[in-house]
């Protein structure tokens, strides 16, 4: 036994007087497939599968809108106004004679651009602010978090309304308004995560090694604090699309001639008795898409939740 | 093992299997163990984390939750096989906390934070011994006093978070012995505590159990603690008992290569300067669908071709009363 | 350099240390800690009003010679980890001075101290929490090389990291694996390799084996001892609560209680001739894996519990639990007093005895 202790590669060779057996390292370091576990839990629920399917369809429709749409969604033709569904116009036409189905298809584009645009802007800005507030603490934290608290004071939609009213209608302004309105959620989440990741010994090790703050934040805190934001992003997508629909419904969202499900619902409202599909079709789209995003968000949360590890 | 008559025998576990079903397969946490505890005996259950020592004790108490299950075996206690009772049956509940009690490692998680300490003690007194509120309260004060909690009467209405770690563990001991159990299972009862507090509490626990004439199963990884207190030892590795015997036999005539390895790998307070530790190479085994051969094989300094191809050996007697070892290299009467 | 000289003279000038400084050539001292204090404020409310202090370390002094292993032992809350973190400047000490290689480092700004950080490495307790789960083992080990720009090319970097892996007994082929694929013992080896990367002269080992299984502990202890033997002048501060482990690895042991050092001596002396009542109780509380010895050892069971460092007792902080306390112990803070070569104790009764002897 004593000569064994002089060896350098202890774990690899083990007691060398006995020739059997494979290297111990190979036995111990069996890679664990986190990814497979993730997929298994994620797709465990039927509704998640449904959600993912809806999202795939939505993205495909949005990208290939010009090929899927049967008519030009912007072209007014008063002679064809308020037609009932037919083989020519699957969902009929609106009061300006525009094809409802084609408008729905283009509306998917708007919904996705606003949804992803807002989430991208808000999550990136929110994560940076949260990271700074959580890591640096002190007055940086105080300023950032008090501003966020102030923003949180307004209900999200009221704040978005206010901002949209100030900024004016239009897709860019809607994205800006909704980003500001949803910013506190990301900032607070990231700040909290940063605070908890910061407590880990590997962050302390960074300090002991002499790493600069920026390096520690970008290389170590961000990757480890990122997952909850991912979950928030998916569930926020639904909220944002709903909020955009709300703004458009109220007429301060997407400017005409832009197509949005919210404004379509509002436009069709006047003809609810004679042509219910004008309002109900876009409303149904909003509902299904928001529901799908929420389901995917829930599935993602379950699959990424470390507390459920071992239970599921 | 089973040759001793029922007289004086408190608990007898026969061929117990407990497994956990997880993503990667089935973990054979307890892989067929048999052991016995006599009346008023102090038995040490020694092994490293993941060797199944805790799971075996939880199985005896039927405290195994999904995804785990007891896959086979018998637990004889006072002439009945406890495993025939359902985990939540009134019979089993009467045993748990009444006749057999368990003291856990982490007092914070095993005390209910929303109930006062007094309530947690009186609860089992009322349940198991049929005391009324007043009697139970008086007894609870007496118990807390015995475990050295100052001004016990006034602290009865405090909540667990108002106690320090050591004090909470004292409360756990008080709860553990409240109903004067026949047997106490202490699972690493002092590992989370500091050295001097550990010593304090072990002495206290022993004295308290001694007072109610109970037996004690001391589950631990600390060889020093069992050397001091235990009369008999079971050494566990990978869900099996690899060596058992009287404490002195295990320490002075260790026979299984794992036991020998353990004894050589811990630094001792009384050792001379410059003595080098002899570690056990490699790492503890993976218990997911393990091969049928001896699980210590990959780390064993004495392994042979036979150990690789044949299944786990049986426990065979070696020198010393009741001293059994599970190793091919010790067959043929050769002691250590 | 002049500054260092000046510091030296100051050191020698202090009466308490005179003997140490004479016995050991001054340049052999790698680290000197003097009256170190670390108070953590307890704040309350939105405005972070200070309502009290946790006196985690309350006046600790010691020296470490080059190539020595100093064990810091004590129970949780005694401040041993905080001492380590003050030396590695993870915490900025409240008061006191620290000389590392004859340079006062306790007041240096982070910018000035950063280049020195590679010479003072830390090995952490938790082999799970101390490695970033999203980094490969190789990049964890190589991080100090990157931070201090110690390599010029990718090839040199890889070579250095592979060398470090081999040095701690890991297969360099595992460089691209992630921490969760390693066992606890192997993770601790990764932590040790990272500590070695900066070519440090002082390594602070903060409970490096207490989270490991018994059979793995010996591997890591042996590795640490081999690494020291294989290098010239590598110095360890070994922090642990397990007296057996500390005794095994250390050349000198400092026993801490409630933020102060109560006794410093060699392991042999500590075992055969412990003087401070707390040291004696601590020693007697440790069980030896040998039934015959255990049957004969006396056991000193202490009364009560470790008091809170928020409101430590006056005088000698141990007085309330001490079986030998005198009224003076409640009022006077005992100083470390030399009782023999390499044996210092902070106990009033020892000091009294010494005075009497002289008379």
pLDDT digit string, tens, across residues C79-92: 999 999 999 999 99
What residues in A contact B305, CB-CB < 8 Å? Answer: 20
Domains of chain B, CATH where assigned: 1-89+231-336 (3.40.50.300), 97-184+191-213 (3.40.50.300)
* Strands, sheet with C260-265, edge to edge from the N-terminal-most edge strand: C120-123, C202-206, C235-240, C69-73, C252-257, C260-265, C343-345, C337-340
Which chains lie within 8 Å of chain B at 3 or more CB pairs, if any? A, C
Q: Which is nearest to B299 in space by CA: A21, A79, C201?
A: A21
Helix (H) or strand (E) holding A162: helix A156-167
Per-residue model confidence (pLDDT) at position B175: 87
B177 and B212 Cβ atoms separated by less than 8 Å: yes
Residues ≥6 apart with Cβ < 8 Å to B151: none
Phi/psi class of residue C187: alpha, beta or left (left: φ > 0; alpha: ψ in -120 to 50)? alpha
- The Cα-based distances of B241 to B75, B292, C132 in angstroms read 16, 15, 37
Per-residue model confidence (pLDDT) at position C27: 57
B221 and C212 Cβ atoms separated by less than 8 Å: no
Q: Is the Cβ of B281 closer than 8 Å to some Cβ of chain A?
A: yes
| Sign of the CA dihedral running B262, B264, B266, B271 | positive
Contact: B200, C301; criterion CB under 8 Å:
yes
Contact: C169, A201; criterion CB under 8 Å:
no
Predicted confidence (pLDDT) per residue in B115-173, tens digit = 898 888 898 888 888 889 999 999 999 888 888 888 888 888 888 888 877 788 888 88
What residues in B contact C281, CB-CB < 8 Å? Answer: 196
Phi/psi class of residue B180: alpha, beta or left (left: φ > 0; alpha: ψ in -120 to 50)? left
Q: Which of C90, C135, C180 sits opposite A208 (nearest CB)?
A: C90
- pTM score, two decimals? 0.83
Q: Is the Cβ of B294 closer than 8 Å to some Cβ of chain A?
A: no
Contact: C289, B227; criterion CB under 8 Å:
yes
Is residue C331 scored above 50 in pLDDT? yes
Predicted confidence (pLDDT) per residue in B188-215, tens digit = 877 667 777 777 888 888 888 888 888 9
Give CA–CA dist B96/C130, Å, rounded. Answer: 40
Contact: B199, C289; criterion CB under 8 Å:
no
Of the ranges A294-303, B183-192, C178-187, C275-284, the best mean pLDDT one: C275-284
Q: Is the Cβ of B252 closer than 8 Å to some Cβ of chain A?
A: no
Residues ≥6 apart with Cβ < 8 Å to B242: B235, B236, B256, B258, B259, B296, B325, B326, B327
Q: In angstroms, how far is the first alpha carbon of chain A from the final one?
A: 44
Per-residue model confidence (pLDDT) at position C257: 93
Q: Is the Cβ of C332 closer than 8 Å to some Cβ of chain A?
A: no
Name which of A33-42, B16-25, C175-184, C307-316 the model is least confident about. A33-42
Residues composing chain A: 312
What residues in A contact C129, CB-CB < 8 Å? Answer: 200-202
Give CA–CA dist A222/A227, Å, rounded. Answer: 9
Q: Which of B23, B286, B298 sits opposite A21 (nearest CB)?
A: B298
Q: Which is nearest to C169 in space by CA: A21, A28, B303, A19?
A: A28
Per-residue pLDDT, averaged over B268-276, amounts to 82
Which chains lie within 8 Å of chain A at 3 or more CB pairs, if any? B, C
Q: Which of A5, A11, A28 sits opposite B276 (nearest CB)?
A: A5
Q: Is the Cβ of A6 closer than 8 Å to some Cβ of chain B?
A: no
Nearest-neighbour CA in chain C from A126: distance (Å): 22
Nearest-neighbour CA in chain A from B281: distance (Å): 6
Which DSSP category does B288 fall into? B
Contact: B301, A1; criterion CB under 8 Å:
yes
Give CA–CA dist B258/B300, Å, rounded. Answer: 7
- The Cα-based distances of A107 to A62, A63, A113 in angstroms read 8, 11, 10
Contact: A29, C177; criterion CB under 8 Å:
yes
Percent of chain B topping pLDDT 90: 35
Contact: B266, C285; criterion CB under 8 Å:
no
Which chains lie within 8 Å of chain C at 3 or more CB pairs, if any? A, B
Please state whether beta strands C95-100 and C103-104 pair in parallel, antiparallel, or not at all (unpaired).
Answer: antiparallel
Give CA–CA dist B97/C174, Å, rounded. Answer: 49
Domains of chain C, CATH where assigned: 2-358 (3.40.50.300)
If you search the block for the tokens 């359902």, which residue do you land on? B86
Per-residue model confidence (pLDDT) at position A16: 33
**To the nearest whole number, what is the mean pLDDT of chain C?**
86
Name which of A263-277, C21-35, C146-160 the model is least confident about. C21-35
Q: Which of B278, B279, B282 sits opposite A24 (nearest CB)?
A: B282
Q: Is the Cβ of A150 closer than 8 Å to some Cβ of chain B?
A: no
Per-residue model confidence (pLDDT) at position A10: 35
Higher pLDDT, C83 or B105: C83
Predicted confidence (pLDDT) per residue in B285-325, tens digit = 888 888 889 999 989 999 888 998 999 999 999 988 899 99
Mean pLDDT by 10 residues, chain A (312 residues): 33 33 38 71 85 92 89 82 79 83 90 93 95 92 92 84 84 90 94 92 92 92 89 88 88 80 86 86 92 89 67 46
Query: How does residue C63 score in pLDDT terms, banded at 50, 70 and 90?
Result: very high
Phi, psi of A226 (to 5 degrees): -80, -35
Contact: B195, C294; criterion CB under 8 Å:
no
Is residue B335 scored above 60 in pLDDT? no
Q: Hey, what's the torsion of the CAs at B215, B221, B227, B233, to 10 degrees?
A: 50
What residues in C contact B267, CB-CB < 8 Å? Answer: 218, 221, 244-245, 247-249
C261 and C79 Cβ atoms separated by less than 8 Å: no
Residues ≥6 apart with Cβ < 8 Å to A284: none
Residues composing chain C: 359
Which DSSP category does A212 fall into? -
* Strands, sheet with B215-220, edge to edge from the N-terminal-most edge strand: B100-103, B183-187, B215-220, B42-46, B232-237, B240-246, B324-325, B316-317
Domains of chain A, CATH where assigned: 1-30 (no CATH), 36-308 (1.10.3720.10)
Is residue C34 scored above 90 in pLDDT? yes
Q: Is the Cβ of A209 closer than 8 Å to some Cβ of chain C?
A: yes
Give buried/exposed letters for B120-155 (b at 16+ CB in 10 A, else e): bbbbbbeebeebeeeebbebbbebbebbbbeebeeb
Per-residue model confidence (pLDDT) at position B11: 93
Query: What ipTM, to 2 d.p.?
Result: 0.84
Give CA–CA dist A156/A164, Å, rounded. Answer: 12
What SS3 class is residue B116?
coil
Nearest-neighbour CA in chain C from A54: distance (Å): 32
Q: Is the Cβ of A28 closer than 8 Å to some Cβ of chain B?
A: yes
* Strands, sheet with C49-65, edge to edge from the N-terminal-most edge strand: C49-65, C29-44, C95-100, C103-104
């Amino acid at each position: 036994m004593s000569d064994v202790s002089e060896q350098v590669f202890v774990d690899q060779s083990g007691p060398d007087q006995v020739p059997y057996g494979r290297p111990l390292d190979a036995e111990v370091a069996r890679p664990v497939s986190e990814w497979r576990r993730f997929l298994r839990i994620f797709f465990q629920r039927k509704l998640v599968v449904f959600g993912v399917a809806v999202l795939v369809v939505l993205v495909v429709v949005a990208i290939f809108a010009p090929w899927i749409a049967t008519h030009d969604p912007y072209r007014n033709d008063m002679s064809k106004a308020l037609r009932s569904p037919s083989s020519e116009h699957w969902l009929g036409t609106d009061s300006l004679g525009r094809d409802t189905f084609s408008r729905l298809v283009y509306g998917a584009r708007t919904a996705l651009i606003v949804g992803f645009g807002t989430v991208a802007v808000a999550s990136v800005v929110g994560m940076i602010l949260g990271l700074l507030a959580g890591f640096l603490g002190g007055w940086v934290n105080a300023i950032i978090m008090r501003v966020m608290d102030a923003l949180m004071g307004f209900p999200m939609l009221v704040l978005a309304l206010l901002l949209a009213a100030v900024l004016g209608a239009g897709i860019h302004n809607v994205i800006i308004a909704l980003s500001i309105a949803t910013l506190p959620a990301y900032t607070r989440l990231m700040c909290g995560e940063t605070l908890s990741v910061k407590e880990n010994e590997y962050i302390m090790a960074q300090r002991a090694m002499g790493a600069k703050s920026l390096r520690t934040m970008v290389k170590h805190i961000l990757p480890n604090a990122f997952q909850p934001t991912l979950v928030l992003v998916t569930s926020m997508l639904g909220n944002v699309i709903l909020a955009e629909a709300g703004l458009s419904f109220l007429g301060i969202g997407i400017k005409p001639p832009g197509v949005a499900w919210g404004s379509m619902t509002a436009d069709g409202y006047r003809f609810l008795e004679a042509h219910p599909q004008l309002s109900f079709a876009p409303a149904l789209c909003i509902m299904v898409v928001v529901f799908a995003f929420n389901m995917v968000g829930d599935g993602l949360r379950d699959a990424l939740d470390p507390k459920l590890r071992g239970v599921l | 093992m089973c040759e001793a008559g029922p007289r004086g025998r408190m608990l007898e576990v026969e061929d117990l299997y407990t497994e956990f079903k997880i993503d990667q397969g089935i973990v054979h946490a307890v892989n067929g163990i048999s052991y016995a505890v006599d009346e008023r005996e102090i038995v040490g259950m020694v092994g490293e984390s993941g060797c199944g020592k805790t799971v075996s004790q939880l199985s005896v108490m039927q405290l195994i939750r999904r995804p785990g299950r007891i896959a086979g075996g018998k637990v004889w206690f006072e002439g009945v096989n406890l495993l025939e009772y359902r985990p939540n049956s009134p019979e089993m509940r009467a045993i748990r906390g009444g006749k057999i009690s368990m003291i856990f490692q982490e007092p914070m998680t095993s005390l209910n934070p929303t109930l006062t300490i007094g309530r947690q003690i009186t609860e089992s007194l009322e349940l198991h011994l049929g005391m009324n509120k007043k009697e139970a309260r008086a007894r609870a004060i007496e118990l807390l006093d015995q475990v050295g909690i100052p001004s016990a009467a006034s602290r009865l209405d405090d909540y667990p978070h108002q106690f320090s770690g050591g004090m909470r563990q004292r409360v756990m001991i008080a709860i553990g012995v409240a109903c004067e159990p026949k047997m106490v299972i202490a699972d690493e009862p002092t590992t989370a505590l500091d050295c001097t507090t550990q010593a304090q509490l072990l002495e206290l626990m022993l004295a308290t159990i001694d007072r109610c004439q109970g037996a004690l199963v001391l589950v631990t990884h600390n060889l020093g603690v069992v050397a001091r207190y235990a009369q008999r030892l079971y050494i566990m590795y990978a869900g099996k008992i690899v060596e058992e015997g009287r404490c002195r036999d295990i320490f002075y005539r260790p026979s299984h290569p794992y036991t020998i390895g353990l004894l050589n790998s811990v630094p001792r307070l009384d050792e001379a300067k410059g003595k080098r530790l002899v570690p056990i190479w490699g790492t503890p085994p993976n218990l997911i669908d393990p091969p049928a051969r001896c699980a210590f094989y990959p780390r064993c300094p004495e392994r042979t071709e036979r150990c690789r191809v044949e299944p786990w050996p049986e426990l065979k007697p070696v020198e010393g009363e009741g001293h059994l070892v599970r190793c091919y290299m010790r067959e043929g009467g050769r002691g250590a | 350099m002049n500054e260092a000289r000046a510091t030296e003279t100051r050191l020698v000038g202090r009466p308490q240390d005179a003997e140490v400084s004479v016995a050991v050539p001054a340049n052999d001292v790698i680290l000197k800690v003097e009256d170190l204090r670390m108070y953590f404020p307890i704040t309350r409310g939105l405005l972070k009003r200070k309502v009290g202090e946790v006196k985690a370390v309350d006046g600790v002094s010691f020296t470490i010679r080059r190539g020595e292993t100093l064990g810091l032992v004590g129970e949780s809350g005694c401040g041993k980890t905080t001492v380590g973190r003050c030396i590695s400047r993870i915490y900025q000490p409240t008061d006191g001075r620290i000389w590392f290689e004859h340079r006062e480092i306790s007041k240096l700004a982070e910018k000035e101290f950063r280049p020195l950080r590679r010479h003072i490495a830390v090995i952490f307790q938790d082999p799970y929490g101390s490695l970033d789960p999203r980094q490969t083992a190789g990049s964890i080990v190589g991080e100090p090389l990157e931070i201090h720009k110690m390599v010029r090319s990718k090839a040199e970097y890889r070579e250095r990291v592979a060398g470090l892996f081999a040095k701690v007994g890991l297969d360099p082929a595992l460089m691209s694996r992630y921490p969760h694929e390693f066992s606890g013992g192997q993770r601790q080896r990764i932590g040790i390799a990272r500590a070695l990367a900066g070519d440090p002269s002082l390594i602070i080992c903060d409970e490096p084996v207490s989270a490991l299984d018994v059979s793995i502990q010996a591997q890591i202890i042996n590795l640490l001892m081999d690494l020291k033997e294989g290098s010239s002048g590598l110095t360890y501060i070994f922090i642990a609560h397990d007296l057996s482990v500390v005794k095994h690895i250390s050349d000198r042991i400092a026993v801490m209680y409630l933020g102060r050092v109560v006794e410093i001596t060699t392991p042999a002396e500590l075992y055969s001739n412990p003087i401070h009542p707390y040291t004696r109780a601590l020693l007697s509380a440790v069980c030896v894996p040998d039934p015959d010895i255990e049957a004969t050892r006396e056991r000193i069971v202490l009364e009560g519990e470790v008091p809170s460092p928020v409101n430590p007792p006056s005088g000698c902080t141990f007085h309330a639990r001490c079986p030998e306390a005198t009224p003076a112990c409640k009022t006077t803070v005992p100083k470390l007093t030399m009782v023999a070569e390499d044996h210092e104790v902070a106990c009033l009764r020892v000091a009294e005895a010494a005075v009497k002897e002289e008379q």
